[in-house]
Amino acid sequence: MGRAKADDDTHEPLAKLLGLLSSPWTMLILHRLHTDGPTRFGELRRRVGAISTKTLTERLRLFEAEGLVSRHYEPTVPPKVTYSLTERVMELESVIMELDRIAERWYGSGKKKRT
């Protein structure tokens, strides 16, 4: 039984990262921010698609807590909030772009995935 505990400890950082990245909307939000650069909340919600305001807010708060996204608030009327990627998330740039290339090959340009 002691062996299983050691294995769990070894994979804990990977499990945490995979849990974060595999949650709904995560990769799409990170891809949009990577592609579009700093983006206001409303525009990000439109570009992501069918995501609810509540879900996007929760995701962005989590990303900010994890150091993946920075939030810039300007106290104007109405308030202006802009989100951008941090240097930390840029370590994932190659992963995000590779997933984008695979998605384009599988589903882009009217092509359908082979079964």
The token pair at 113 is 């995935």
Per-residue model confidence as pLDDT tens digits over 54-78: 999 999 999 999 999 999 999 999 8
Distance CA 62, CA 10 (A): 24
Inform me whether the pLDDT recorded for 102 exceeds 50. Answer: yes
Burial of 68 (0-12, 13-18, 19+ CB in 10 A): buried
Distance CA 49, CA 32 (A): 11
Q: What is the DSSP string of 56-113?
A: HHHHHHHHHHTTSEEEEEE--SS-EEEEEE-TGGGGGHHHHHHHHHHHHHHHGGG---
Please tell me the distance from the alpha carbon of residue 21 to that of residue 15, in angstroms, as a whole number: 10
Which tens digits make up the pLDDT trace of 5-22? 545 566 799 899 899 999
Pick the CATH number of 25-110 from 3.40.140.10, 2.60.40.10, 3.40.640.10, 1.10.10.10: 1.10.10.10
Q: Which two tokens stand for residue 86?
A: 């941090």
Provide the whole-model pTM: 0.79
Domain residue ranges of the chain, discontinuous segments joined by +: 25-110
